[in-house]
Structure 1
Amino acid sequence: MSLTPEQNIEAFIELIKDYPSVFIAENRTDLEQQIDKFPEDVESLSEAISAWCLEHPDILIALTDQLDSMFGSTSEDDRGQAESNPKPQPKDYKTDIKNKMRESFRETTKEQKPSDSSK
């Protein structure tokens, strides 16, 4: 089964959301710097994500696992259910990635830092 660019992007977004610990601080900084340079159109965005992941082997492995778990063994029933969910507009993918990065990376950073009890 070949995956679509949309599936690749959606799996990357889910990876950020569900497994932010895969992204070490250097990877997060690099992704935050690169994301605005990523193209808007779906196919090019998917290719840019894949190219970025190739530079970060741990994330590439995690993305591959995420793709397998999300789309590897899709039955007819699963496909029908997934198709009923509204698909994000292509222009929304980068915004979704940025939002998930802010949410997930902030939460992971909070967990790693001791809380300031003087507040």
Structure 2
Amino acid sequence: MRRTLLSLGLSLALLAACAAEDNLGQHPSWVVFFTEDGAGMDPAARAVVSEAASLANRNPAAPVLVAGFADPDATRAYNRALSEIRAQNVAAALGEDGVAPACITVALRGGVPFIAFPVESRRVEIKVGP
């Protein structure tokens, strides 16, 4: 499993972004973490998106799934809206890096519980491939 750690801030120093392969080792996925109530990407997060876009551009027929999440602390409607903004921002960044919009599917997950740290739920997952 491959991992790339990037920082979004002091509290996110170890969890800000990672790249990993799925269980079969065939379809890479990337995770961009966000600050609480945040939807903007810093240069480190943008680099993760660019890495995913690079693979997608080398495989133009591959679908790209962008799934947005939020932590469960606010209302369901708020979390759904925040996860959508996060996912749309990542999808737009993929498009800026040359990924065809027709290949990108945005999925909203809303508020989800975290295991150890709230930042685990404040994320967008990018998966390239079926």
TM-score between both structures, scaled by the size of structure 2: 0.28
RCO (CA 8 Å, sep 6+): is it higher in 1 or 2? 1
The structure with more strand, counted as a fraction of residues:
2
Bigger CA radius of gyration: 1
Flag the structure with higher helix content.
1
TM-score by length of 1: 0.30
